């Protein structure tokens, strides 16, 4: 697997795991319905809180190392997508930490 395809997968996973953390405010103020939706949202948020920092570190490493060897326009777009995914995940972690206080 090349660095660029790995960056594409990590960026997509960062966004996927960042989404449940944006819903933690709904859990905090009890806007989420009870039962299975609550359990699913809470469990996915907890898993994302544990997995997302690892994804952020790996994405940041690939962004920094990939910045040195950009040669094509497609790679530049992938770096932009990876950067946006990194900041999306970072914002999701910050929101989760601030809401949990």
Residue-level pLDDT, tens digit, the chain, 101 residues: 687 788 899 999 999 999 888 777 666 666 656 777 777 777 888 899 899 999 999 999 988 888 777 677 778 888 899 999 999 999 998 888 887 77
Q: What pLDDT, on a 0 to 100 scale, did the predictor assign at position 81? A: 92
Q: What pLDDT, on a 0 to 100 scale, did the predictor assign at position 14? A: 93
Nearest to residue 92, comparing CAs of 58, 62, 39, 47? 47
Q: What pLDDT, on a 0 to 100 scale, did the predictor assign at position 78? A: 87
pTM: 0.82
Q: What's the rounded Cα separation, in Å, for the pair 14 and 86?
A: 7
């Amino acid at each position: 697997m090349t660095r660029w395809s790995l960056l594409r997968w990590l960026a997509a996973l960062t966004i996927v795991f960042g989404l449940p953390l944006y819903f933690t405010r709904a859990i905090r103020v009890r806007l989420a319905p009870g039962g299975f939706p609550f359990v699913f949202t809470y469990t996915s948020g907890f898993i994302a809180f544990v997995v997302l920092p690892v994804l952020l570190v790996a994405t940041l490493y690939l962004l920094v190392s990939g910045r040195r060897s950009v040669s094509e326009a497609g790679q530049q777009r992938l770096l932009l997508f990876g950067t946006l995914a990194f900041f999306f995940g970072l914002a999701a972690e910050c929101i989760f930490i601030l809401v949990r206080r």
